[in-house]
Amino acid sequence: MTQQTATSQPEGSQPNRLICEKSPYLLQHAHNPVDWYAWGPEAFEAAARENKPIFLSIGYATCHWCHVMERESFEDGQVAALMNEAFISIKVDREERPDIDQVYMRVCQMLTGSGGWPLTILMTPDKRPFFAGTYLPKGDRFGQMGMLHLIPRTRELWQERHGDILKSAEEIIAALEKVSPVSAGEMTASTLDAAFEELGSRFDSEHGGFGRAPKFPTPHTLLFLLRYWKRTGSQLALEMTEKTLCAMRRGGIYDHVGFGFHRYSTDAEWLAPHFEKMLYDQALLTMAYSEAYQATRKEEYARTTREILEYVSRMLTSPESGFFSAEDADSEGEEGKFYLWRKDEIHLILAPEEAALVVQAFNVSRQGNFVEQGRADGSGENILHQTATLPNIAAGLGISEEELESRWGAARQKLFARREKRVHPLLDDKVLTDWNGLMIAALANAAQSLNEPRYAEAAQRAADFILERMRAPGGGLLHRYREGQAAVAGNLDDYVFMAWGLIELYEANFNVKNLEAAIELNAYAHEHFWDKQTGGFYFTADNQEEVLIRAREIYDGAVPSGNSVALLNLLRLARMTGREDLEEKAAQLVTAFGASIKQSPAAYTQWMVALDFATGPAFEVVVSGDPQAEDTRAMLKALRSEYLPSKVILLRPGGQGTNEIIRLAGFTRDQAMLDGKATAYVCQNFRCHLPTTDIQQMMEFLHTGKL
């Protein structure tokens, strides 16, 4: 295969300052004729010295429209000459510096009513914005101002109406400081009902998912619905979850040949994806499918989980065991080119019987279904997708499901081998701590639900890498690693997502160092990110670079917010350690944002996951026994085989291991084995059942909650 890299550049082009950076996105622009700076003192000092405004451009390596704007404008000599004369130009990777992106995206949304990437900001040398937009064409187009118009107009205003620009920047900052998503209030179980009703009103009963096109996976919404089903017995909650999971798995948003999910669907049917693949989507969707398997025991969900993790292992795992960030949507300058198939191509690759199966099962036609790629002879490219279930496809072909799966498996391998010879999309090979935390959590979750220890082993290797190689001198976390260099101060998501992963990993392998590390990261977050005035966590720490304002994020978007993940971490750690101070901190966090979240709870589904745990019933289970003994293993397997999301599990293993867990969870001191047998101690709402060596009785306690 040919893998595109961030350093692939036109021959003979001269590099700019970005050539010294590690970010794949910045390196993509390192040979532009624009005199780019990276974010830092050098750029701001130059802007002040030369009395120039700053052109801030924010994007990321796998952003399609970022590539388009680069080709149209930043690689264009005319545009570059104007930019170099009028501006000090700064390029920022939003994934490397989410703290910068977060603030200026908020500015863009406030000024324009929308946002997106590439994000374009014009600002003063002291970082105060006075203009915001997203993608800008080279020339004016359909009423939209282009770069050739914007640049000279800005230069004219900067020179002739400088005072007006400064006044506008001051007004924007003042308005920004007043904008707050935060208002205090209480949340109760009724908030869960409101979130469910809101999701039900937006559910697409025909195609699955929520709302209209474009459709995003938002797996944490499905995690909430599964918990709501478990809490209430609502079949509608389960139906919405399963309809969405099945539709995504069978649609074009799923890579049927190489596995893994694309970013989102551009249509309501999950057919035509935006083709980039992000690590965080793979992680969160792994959790959704593995939990759905626990809840339903349907093999399709287990198979999808394994396939996602096979893709992550093959394409997104670094030699050092961390996880890379993403694969681009584009290859050879065309979006989706790597993933599309012509009908005649399939017939050339496969035997007639195999080709017939693929054509029928995956809706392949001569004219194709990807309209951008139509050919002069009328043939077109196809996105492989299923519109029928496996049993129906098998019945249509007159074969059994087993035979269908066997034939498709052989055909898929041939298609995969042929596709590997194509030019691959860019691999964004930076390692981000927060997204790695999500992937560690997903692997540990799958290890438990599928009874696959190898997934926990991969998660442990990644956790060890992050905790050993991505540490700051003062003991905190660093955000980004690439080519041997760890840099950029960690943000809230780095700490709480890693703590999430470590909590899940502890429950998968009961390595006490994982629980201890989760407790330490939680403590660091409280010390440096907690708002001591009104509660909640800031996105940036009190000991790192300041960027205009310190924001507290609560919206659960493509990934959950740091505050919502922190809430569940606090609750779980409180129950695992018996620490009332953590329980109290969780209560303060709920109150800090309660009124805001209650206005539209379906926008905060990871909060609803945590609130479900907080309102109970939730259980603490201590298993006392030799982890290698058959009875202990059987007891743990029973706990993991059923869908019981509102529980924490501790292992009191005996020997030195007992001392280690007692040090973190003192209440386990007296929870020893009975008669030398594996023993379960099940507690709920600060009350405990009598210990039992009987697995069936343990499960009855968990199902009924009765003493």
Q: Say what the pLDDT of residue 575 is.
A: 96
pLDDT tier at 375 (50, 70, 90 boundaries)? low
* Closest by Cα among 612, 637, 619 to 627: 637
User: Distance (Å, rounded) from C-alpha 384 to C-alpha 368?
Assistant: 10
User: Distance (Å, rounded) from C-alpha 140 to C-alpha 146?
Assistant: 4
Q: Are strands 36-38 and 88-93 parallel, antiparallel or unpaired?
A: parallel
pLDDT digits 0-9 by tens, 91-128: 999 999 999 999 999 999 999 988 889 999 999 999 99
What burial class does residue 485 get, using C-beta atoms within 10 Å of its C-beta: 0-12 exposed, 13-18 middle, 19+ buried?
A: exposed
Q: Say what the pLDDT of residue 181 is.
A: 56
Predicted structure pTM score: 0.94
> Over pLDDT 90: what percentage of the chain?
84
Q: 165-195 burial, b if ≥16 CB within 10 A, otherwise e?
A: beebbeebbeebeeeeebeeeebeeebbebb
- Alpha carbon of 549 to those of 72, 173, 178, 181: distances in Å? 33, 9, 11, 13
**Pick from 66-80, 133-147, 332-346, 468-482: least confident:** 133-147
Average of per-residue pLDDT across 8-17: 68
pLDDT digits 0-9 by tens, 130-152: 999 999 999 988 778 899 999 99
Between residues 161 and 706, the one the model is more confident about: 161
pLDDT digits 0-9 by tens, 644-677: 999 999 999 987 778 999 999 999 999 999 999 9
Sorted by sequence, the CB contacts under 8 Å of residue 171 that are 6+ apart come out as none
Residue 125 Cα to chain centre, angstroms: 33
Radius of gyration of the chain (CA): 26
- Alpha carbon of 45 to those of 38, 89, 704: distances in Å? 12, 12, 66
Q: Which long-range contacts (CB under 8 A, 24 or more apart) does 298-305 make?
A: 300/246, 300/249, 300/390, 301/245, 302/450, 304/245, 304/249, 304/254, 305/446, 305/449, 305/450
Average of per-residue pLDDT across 562-580: 97
| Residue located via tokens 């800008």 | 136
pLDDT digits 0-9 by tens, 539-553: 999 988 888 888 899
H or E element: which one contains 264? strand 264-265
Mean pLDDT of the chain: 93
The pLDDT of residue 468 is above 70: yes
Q: Say what the pLDDT of residue 393 is.
A: 85
pLDDT tier at 475 (50, 70, 90 boundaries)? confident
* 623 bridge partner residues: 651, 680
User: Distance (Å, rounded) from C-alpha 507 to C-alpha 102?
Assistant: 33
pLDDT digits 0-9 by tens, 191-218: 999 999 999 999 999 999 999 999 999 9
Backbone angles phi, psi at 476, to 5 degrees: -80, -175
Q: Say what the pLDDT of residue 11 is.
A: 45
Q: Say what the pLDDT of residue 12 is.
A: 46
Q: Say what the pLDDT of residue 184 is.
A: 74
pLDDT tier at 178 (50, 70, 90 boundaries)? confident
Average of per-residue pLDDT across 486-507: 98
Q: Say what the pLDDT of residue 183 is.
A: 74
Q: Say what the pLDDT of residue 545 is.
A: 85
User: Distance (Å, rounded) from C-alpha 444 to C-alpha 461?
Assistant: 12
**Pick from 72-86, 164-178, 212-226, 463-477: least confident:** 164-178
Between residues 238 and 689, the one the model is more confident about: 238
* Closest by Cα among 372, 382, 394 to 347: 382
pLDDT digits 0-9 by tens, 498-518: 999 999 999 999 999 999 999
pLDDT tier at 706 (50, 70, 90 boundaries)? low
